[in-house]
Amino acid sequence: MTGSADGVTTVEFFGVPGAGKSTIARRLTERLAATGRPVAEPTYELAHEVSSVRRYLSKSGYAAVGTLRQPRRALVGARAIADSGQPSGRALVKTTFNWQYVTGVLELRAPGELQVLDQGLVQAAWSVGLGAERDRTPSLCELAVDALSRGGTALVVVVDVAPETVRERLSRRADGDTRVSPTGDGHGVSEALERKERVERSLVDAVADEPSVDLLHVDNESRADLEDAVATVFERLEGERHGVSGR
């Protein structure tokens, strides 16, 4: 990874629902903020800390920014999503809106600030592919990596977790807010993990051509893994910030 004066400028977490992306992202942000580093976690805040009305309005604003600032990328992304053959018109609108929303988040990163995204464009590419008739993962991953590189250097953290762990965690979600079913109804855990593997393969190819974006794998099977994952990402970011390359 080619560093900047501030090191990594964007961190995106990627993994299936139940992998613990948001928990790791939150712990990482708290640890970074404690060092005095300017850090923001816009996707976490919108998902967990605001009302549903404010969430929708804020996401709409981000989506508008993403479309207006990068109209060509917005069009290419929308076409790829439409060509994927979404299972319904509602799914097409939702996945396209989410793609433009995260694009806008990336566009509005404040200079000198580190963005921590518990849900980003790589995750959006995974979401598009879940249940789609045609696989457009390679083109979407290329778009995601290109967008990540625009703001400086980026790190995509892939959170690995076993199928049985995912099922157990999803079964404990009281709100049922997930596209993946722990019981096998609808999109199952096996399908979600298979889709994750496809995204990873495309991501590796896309990152190979973009030196400003790098990948990092962490495990999150237990509380000890969680602490190790936070420490691993933190140390990587601090190393990049002080000129110690992670590649």
Convert the pLDDT of each residue in 116-139 to its tens digit. Answer: 999 999 999 999 999 899 999 999
Class in CATH terms, 10-42+114-241: alpha beta
Position 3 pLDDT exceeds 50: no
Average pLDDT across the chain, whole number:
91
E-only strand ranges, the chain: 10-14, 39-40, 114-117, 154-160, 180-181, 187-188, 213-219
- List Cβ neighbours of 211 (8 Å cut-off, separation of 6 or more): 1, 2
| Strand (E) or helix (H) holding 104 | helix 89-107
The model's pTM: 0.91
Percent of the chain with pLDDT over 90: 80
Task: For residue 181, give the 3-state DSSP assignment.
Answer: strand
Q: Say whether pLDDT at 174 is over 70.
A: no
What pLDDT was estimated at residue 5?
46
Is the pLDDT confidence value at 187 over 70? yes
